[in-house]
Amino acid sequence: MIETIFTYTATDEKVIERLINEDVAMINHVVLPGGERLPEHHSDSNVFLIIVRGKLSMQLGEQEAHVYSERVVQVPFHTKMNITNGGDEPVEFFIVKTPHPRVYKE
């Protein structure tokens, strides 16, 4: 096999796991049960959130929170992010940062 396989956890429980940690991209897999959230933080690269299940509530900067499901959302560099699952069902998404924050140049 010439391909590389990356596996991720299939669960409804809270999980935050790094799948890929290369200079060209960092990819994390996240599952947040109802009511869970990520700590407020600023995007540290070009960020793409791929929502594959559930409804993700996200407030960017000072704008009102928006709810996303089954979408890909791009977040600009150095944007304040508040990510929450305000519903009862789990939300599952992937965070793609390109390039990896350790090599990002503004």
Structure confidence at residue 28 (pLDDT): 98
Structure confidence at residue 101 (pLDDT): 86
| Count of domains forming the chain | 1
Residue 79 covered by a domain: yes
Q: What percent of the chain has pLDDT over 90?
A: 91
Residue 83 covered by a domain: yes
Give this prediction's pTM.
0.93
Structure confidence at residue 83 (pLDDT): 98
Range of the domain at 77: 15-98
Residue 87 covered by a domain: yes
Q: What is the DSSP string of the chain?
A: --S--------SS-EEEEEEE-SS-EEEEEEE-TT-BPPPEE--SEEEEEEEES-EEEEETTSPPEEESS-EEEE-TT-EEEEE--SSS-EEEEEEEES-TTT---
Structure confidence at residue 105 (pLDDT): 78
Q: Looking at residue 20, which CATH number applies to its domain?
A: 2.60.120.10
Q: State which residues of the chain have pLDDT below 70.
A: none
Residue 106 covered by a domain: no
